Structures are given as structure tokens and as C-alpha cells.
Amino acid sequence: MKVKKVVVPIAGLGTRLLPATKAIPKEMLPLVNKPIIQYIVEEISKAGFEELIFITHSSKYSVENHFDTSFELESTLKNRVKRSLLNELKAISSLSINISSIRQGEAKGLGHAINCAKNIINNEPFAVVLPDMLLREKKLGFNLALMKKAFEKNSRTSILVAETSKKELSNYGVVEVKRNNLQKELFEVLKIVEKPSAKKIKSNLFAVGRYIFNDSIFSYISKVKPDKTGEIQLTDAIKLHLKEKDSVDAFKLDGTFHDCGDKIGYLKAIVEYALFDKSIGKDFKTFLKKYEK
Ligand code: G1P
């Protein structure tokens, strides 16, 4: 079955980036000249999905506005003959993907956010993309497209995993895997634990924010009990999935990632995206040389 829909939860309040995110959604913070969320939507569109569903919050209307056509701005740029800017602006609203949104009335965790999309998903398989995590890939959308293609062949739930340091792992859903002999970058998930303490970690892999599910995930989410902080975790639903002997594949990220949800990750992303930017990369590199010693 084709995977057409993607759920992007953006209702989180971005507390790790306060006070910058007091009045601006963290997804709208810029990387060079685009907000973070635009890179995410471009990745989804490039991977071949047709429908994007934001799970959102009343304070996040600017994210939806960003993907609307801005007639006023477009006609001003047209009159001033600012062609390249105009084309860049038009490219946003003409991304080949349909965008809709649902409100998450209460902040009750990632599992709860995904569950808000249950009716709109309507028994179809779907992807989940977490907007904090930016991927740098050899071809934009490559990893998601690979997961999508595999699901369309074998209908198996999958998650994207990446390596990170022991210190960082405790911030994430840590994944233990068994090598799949057929394909080098494909594994079978044995165990997944949300933010375990460093002592308990036996893997160097974590869930890097890209998943493909069939609609059975909703029944697992409905069985998840809130954690210590009162949140319904998606990781716990995947755990139940595994417990039911429903296998989950893990694809290893081909590329690198930036966690833009915290200060250092966001700053590293700014530097890297600026260095790779065609118009300012060279000058920026020269500027950074000042700090080399
Ligand atoms: C969420 C997931 C976690 C995953 C992480 C990736 O955590 O719960 O399993 O590894 O995203 O960014 P959060 O960042 O919401 O704390």
C-alpha cells in the first residue's frame, strides 16, 4: 500500500530554546535564510509524500502562514522586479504537498500528539517526521524515500536510527538492534527505551525522528500509560508493538543530523548550513578563520 501521508508534530513549546521561543515557534527560527520547518517540509516533499498533517498549538499559526501564498508580498516583489526573491517565495507555497493541521489541545507527549491524527490518517500507513531533527543527506529526502519504498513492498514498521555519543544518547529513544544479513544498513529492532540513564545503555543508536507506521500504532498508543511526567510516549507504543511480536525495522541514517531543539545543536546547524550556502559560504569560512587559534 502506498504511503502518502506524513504527520509532523509541532505543538511542543520549545522550552530548551527559551527565551528565543517565547513568542516565536522554534520551528520558525532561521537557518541562514529559511526557517527550520521549511527544510523539513522540503525533505518530506522530495521524499514523495502527498499530504502533510501538522499537529499544532494555538501559538504556532506562523508555521501554517509560512506555507500559504502571500499575494501582497509576491505582487510587491513582482513590481520591484525582484525575480530571484519572488521565485524563492513562490517555491514555498508551490511545494508539491497538501498541508493541513489539527490542534493538540493539551501537551501530553509525542504519542498523544500522533494519536490526534488518527481520524485523518483513516486506516492508512503514514510517516512521522520530528521537526527538531534536521538531516543532511547526499540527496534531500533520500532516507525517508528509502523507508517509504521498503514499506510499500513489505508493510513493515520502520524507524530511522543514527549513532551518537554515550553522553548524548540519554536525551533520546535508544534503540538496540540485530543486524539484518540481507542489507548492510538495515537492522531489526530488538529493544527501544526512551531516555535511559547512561548506565543502562547498551547501544550507540537512537531514533532520529523519522518513522513509518501502519495504523496499528494507534491501538498501541491507546494502551500506553503516561510516564513519570504525565506524557504518552511514542517510544512506549513502539515497545508494545515489539512485545506483540510485531517486528520493526531500523534503517541506519545515511548522512548526518542536527538536533535543532537545543542551543548547541541549533548553533552547529547554523554554522554548517552557512558554510554550505552558495551565496555566503566562502565569506563565512574566511570569517571563521579568525577564531581558529
Ligand atoms: C523524541 C522521541 C525520542 C527521539 C527524539 C528524536 O524526543 O521521544 O525517542 O529519539 O524525539 O529527536 P524529544 O526530542 O521530544 O524529547
- Tell me the pLDDT tens digit for each residue of 76-109: 777 777 777 777 777 776 777 899 999 998 889 9
Contact 113, 102 (CB under 8 A): no
Q: Which three-class secondary structure state does DSSP give residue 287?
A: helix
Our mutation pick for probing the ligand 1 site, out of 8, 108, 132, counting the most ligand atoms within 8 A of Cβ, is: 132
pLDDT-derived band at 218, boundaries 50, 70, 90: very high
Q: 110: Cβ below 6 Å to ligand 1?
A: yes
Residue 72 CA, ligand 1 centroid: distance in Å: 38
What is the per-residue pLDDT across 64-82, written as a single tens digit (0 to 9) for each?
888 877 777 877 777 777 7
Q: How many CB atoms lie within 10 A of CB 88?
A: 13
Our mutation pick for probing the ligand 1 site, out of 26, 55, 110, 193, counting the most ligand atoms within 8 A of Cβ, is: 110
Note down the domain range covering 29: 5-291
pLDDT of res. 74: 79
Q: 206: Cβ below 6 Å to ligand 1?
A: yes
How many structural domains compose the chain? 1
* Residue 91 neighbours by CB under 8 Å, 6+ apart: none
Q: 160: Cβ below 6 Å to ligand 1?
A: no
Q: How far apart are CA 233 and CA 110, in angstroms?
A: 6
Q: How far apart are CA 245 and CA 225, in angstroms?
A: 20
Q: 169: Cβ below 6 Å to ligand 1?
A: no
Residue closest by Cα to atom 13 of ligand 1:
172
Residue 282 CA, ligand 1 centroid: distance in Å: 34
Residue 172 sits in a domain whose CATH number is 3.90.550.10
Q: Is the pLDDT of residue 191 over 90?
A: yes
Give the percent of the chain with pLDDT over 70: 98
Q: How far apart are CA 195 and CA 172, in angstroms?
A: 5
Residue 194 CA, ligand 1 centroid: distance in Å: 8
